[in-house]
Amino acid sequence: MVHVVSQAGGPEGKDYCILYNPQWAHLPHDLSKASFLQLRNWTASLLCSAADLPARGFSNQIPLVARGNCTFYEKVRLAQGSGARGLLIVSRERLVPPGGNKTQYDEIGIPVALLSYKDMLDIFTRFGRTVRAALYAPKEPVLDYNMVIIFIMAVGTVAIGGYWAGSRDVKKRYMKHKRDDGPEKQEDEAVDVTPVMTCVFVVMCCSMLVLLYYFYDLLVYVVIGIFCLASATGLYSCLAPCVRRLPFGKCRIPNNSLPYFHKRPQARMLLLALFCVAVSVVWGVFRNEDQ
C-alpha cells in the first residue's frame, strides 16, 4: 500500500493499492514505522537512461515514472543511484509484480512497486501537486473473510437448493400417492451405458482437449459465453418464484407467432429475463476491470 497525504494540509490521507516484489526490498508492516517522503511526479520520463534523471536527482524522494522501454531493474537502479528512497512505476496496463534475477535483487536496496495510472491521477487531483507518501505492506489476515463469505454462499446455496428440491419431491410424491390411491411407482429410469456412448464421450473429450490446445484464445470466449448463458438461466430460475408473487405485471403480450413469445409470457417474466441477461452481459464485459 502507499499512503498519501497532502504536504500543505487538506483532506485526510488515503491508501492506494500497489503491486510490489518483496525480493527487491522489504516494506514495514505498520504505517507508523514507514517514512513519509515527497512524492515526485516524473511520469513524463521513462527513466531508462541517465539523461532522464533530473539535474538534482531524487534525493529523499519517491519518484513516479512511466512504465516501458526498459526493464524494472534499469529504472530502479537509476532511481537508487540518484538518491531516491523508493520508486513507483505508473502503468496504464495490467499490473504485474516487478521482477528481476537474483543478482539484481542483491544490488537494489529501495522498494519498487507498480501503481495504476488511474490511481496516480486521483492522487494529484485529490491532494494537489505537492504530496508526501509512505510505502508499507500491511500483514495479511490469518483468516480471509472473503473466502468465508464465498464458502458460506456456496454451501448455503447447495444446502437450501437441496432442501427445496427434496421438499418439493416429497410433496409431489405425496400428492401422486394420494391421487393414485395406490403404491407409488418408481419414476427414475436407469440409463444404459453402451459401448457406442462411451466411444462418443471419449471422442468429445479428446476433441475438446485438442481444441483447447490449438484454439485456446478463442475457445475461452466460448466457455465464458456458456457460463454467462448458464448464469442467466440460473438467476432467472432463482428469482422467478419471487417475481410471480408480485401483485403487478401480470398482463401478457399480444398473440404472435414468434418462438417462445407465442406462449404469451407475462410482462414481468420478460422483464426478469432481460434483467438476468443484462447481469450476465455486464459481468462478461467488465469481468477484468481493476477494482
Q: What is the pLDDT of residues 230-258, one digit of tens each?
A: 999 988 988 888 888 888 878 887 887 87
Alpha-carbon span 247 to 250, nearest angstrom: 8
Q: What's the mean pLDDT in 91-119?
A: 81
pLDDT at 109: 81
Cβ partners under 8 Å of residue 79, min gap 6: 47, 58, 63, 65, 87, 110, 112
Query: Among 123-127, 180-184, 205-209, 252-256, which stretch is predicted with the lowest mean pLDDT?
Result: 180-184
pLDDT at 249: 76
pLDDT at 281: 92
pLDDT at 276: 93
Query: Among 36-45, 64-73, 180-189, 224-233, which stretch is predicted with the lowest mean pLDDT?
Result: 180-189
Reduce the DSSP state of residue 94 to 3 states and report it. coil
Reduce the DSSP state of residue 3 to 3 states and report it. strand
Q: What's the mean pLDDT in 64-88?
A: 86
Domain span(s) for CATH 3.50.30.30 in the chain? 2-135
pLDDT at 274: 92
User: Looking at the predicted structure, is the pLDDT value of residue 194 above 70?
Assistant: yes
The b/e string for 67-90 (b: 16+ C-beta within 10 A; e otherwise) is beeeebbbbbbbbbebebbbbbbb
Q: What is the pTM of this model?
A: 0.55
pLDDT at 214: 82
pLDDT at 11: 66
pLDDT range class, residue 278, cuts 50, 70, 90: very high
User: Looking at the predicted structure, is the pLDDT value of residue 188 above 70?
Assistant: no
pLDDT at 77: 85
pLDDT at 275: 93
Alpha-carbon span 213 to 242, nearest angstrom: 43
pLDDT at 220: 81
Reported for 9-16, long-range contacts at CB under 8 A and 24+ positions apart, including other chains, are: 10/127, 10/128, 11/126, 11/127, 14/126, 16/115, 16/119, 16/122, 16/123
Q: What is the mean pLDDT of the chain?
A: 82
DSSP string, 97-153: -----HHHHHH--S-EEEEEHHHHHHHHHHH-S-EEEEE--PPPPSS-HHHHHHHHH
**What share of the chain has pLDDT > 90, as a percent?**
4
Q: What's the mean pLDDT in 142-164?
A: 84
Three cell numbers, residue 169: 419431491
Alpha-carbon span 138 to 144, nearest angstrom: 14
Reading phi first (left if > 0) and then psi (alpha if -120 to 50, else beta), residue 69 is in left
Pick the CATH number of 2-135 from 3.20.20.70, 3.50.30.30, 3.30.565.10, 3.30.365.10: 3.50.30.30
Q: What's the mean pLDDT in 17-32?
A: 81
Three cell numbers, residue 197: 456412448
pLDDT at 191: 59
